[in-house]
Amino acid sequence: MTEEKKVEEIMTKVEEEVQKPSEEEVQKEEVVEEEEEETLEPLVEEGEEEEEKVKEPIPKELVQRRRFLKRQKDKDLFETVEEVFDMSTQMAVYELMRRGVIGELLGTISAGKEARVFCAKDPEGNDIAVKIYLTSTAEFRKSIRKYIIGDPRFEQIANRGLRRLIYAWARKEFRNLKRMMQAGIRVPKPIAVYKNVLVMEFIGEGCRRAPLLVELAKPKNQLDVEEWTKIFNTVYDYMVKMYQKAKLVHADLNEYNIMYWKEEPVIIDVSQAVPISHPYADEFLRHDIQQIRRFFSSVGVEVPSFAEMYAKITGLE
């Protein structure tokens, strides 16, 4: 059987099974448009553990208009169907299409052990990024354990099924992005989250993502010391705002999680960010400072001492 035929069969199966949720269920899992409180609410809503019930099927013509996979011999997209889009994920993507969030899903722009990020188009044809957390990776719970222990937002779901934990993790990244953006930090603008699918602003152009700082430094340094110093000062300011205004610690801040777009650094991958009340927040902050000092020193920036940065970020200076 050809890859094209396999994709055709998978998509036909999805079209037969995708159905429209009731109004009550839609309200339970809003595509997060409500304003967030100063302290994040628990990531599990009442009744969320119950399986969704479906009633009316989505009209066939609507499904046909909103196919999120091009039916062509494209190895990358075929592997996407096989590895990432289990039936539940495909239905989640369709739901976001039904709500007018996603118009078309295109190719992969990054792939990790826990998630894939895709370039997509909204219904108006604008580039958006769609991050899909894998629901079948056995390492997920183990890899995030240190970030959820002691986090009150996960007390209700830490010991539940892996899928529920992943859904909560996706919502956590959405809320962290929103919180950082409100604090004046340049991050991808969060657009929507549903189950294990996060939709956000695409940083780049024409489905070509913006470069990471590490890509600007290696194998050949593409910026001069003055430009690197400007970037460092901005990132340093972000770290202060993240701690003092957003009340968060990134917990994995380095040259691999900062993009550079339109002469401005953009912080990405904030799912693991923890509130400053987290029992390991201080340890994570110290590690972030060490990583930022290490990288910017390597490109010639005269960075402040660890003690000076720590005091300024935490407001203890």
Where are the chain's structural domains? Answer: 3-20+36-207, 210-314
Task: State residue 25's pLDDT score.
Answer: 38
CA angle (60 as vertex; 59, 64 as ends), nearest 5: 125
Region for 316 from its dihedrals, namely left if φ exceeds 0, alpha if ψ lies in -120 to 50, beta otherwise: alpha
Element (H, E) at 266: strand 265-267
> Judging by DSSP bridges, how do beta strands 197-201 and 127-133 pair with one another?
antiparallel
Pairing outcome for strands 19-21 and 54-57: antiparallel
**What are the structure tokens assigned to 17, written together?**
């099974």
Range with top average pLDDT, 30-34, 115-119, 302-306: 302-306
> Which of 26-35, 164-173, 246-255, 285-294 shows the lowest per-residue confidence on average (mean pLDDT)?
26-35
- The better pLDDT of the pair 261, 10 is held by 261
- The reply to whether domains 3-20+36-207 and 210-314 share a CATH topology is no
224 pLDDT above the threshold of 90: yes
More confident residue, 237 or 20: 237
CATH class of 210-314: mainly alpha
Task: Look at residue 106 and give its three-state secondary structure.
Answer: strand
Examine the residue annotation and report whether 127 is marked as an active-site residue of this protein: no
Give the count of alpha carbons within 13 A of 231, CB side only. 31
Average pLDDT of the chain is 78
- 248, β-bridge pairs: 275
Of the candidates 281, 286, 246, the residue with the CA atom closest to the CA atom of residue 267: 246
- pLDDT, average across residues 192-196: 94
Which range (124-138, 145-159, 246-260, 266-280) has the least confidence? 145-159
- 252 is a catalytic site residue: yes
Q: What share of the chain in percent tops pLDDT 90? A: 52
Sole residue written with tokens 């990024």: 129
CATH for 3-20+36-207, options being 3.40.50.2300, 1.10.10.60, 3.30.200.20, 3.30.420.40: 3.30.200.20
User: What is the rounded CA–CA span in Å between residue 153 and residue 254?
Assistant: 25
What is residue 151's predicted lDDT score, i.e. its pLDDT? 67
Q: Give pLDDT, residue 48.
A: 38
Q: In sequence order, what are the residues at sequence separation of 6 or more whose Cβ sits closer than 8 angstroms to the Cβ of residue 41? A: 153
> Of residues 74, 269, 282, 288, which has the active-site annotation?
269
Task: Determine the Cα–Cα distance for residues 130 and 112; give it in Å rounded to an integer.
Answer: 14
Asked if 36 and 175 touch (Cβ cutoff 8 Å), the reply is yes
pTM of the predicted model as reported, rounded to 2 decimal places: 0.74
Residue in 74, 122, 237, 252 annotated catalytic: 252
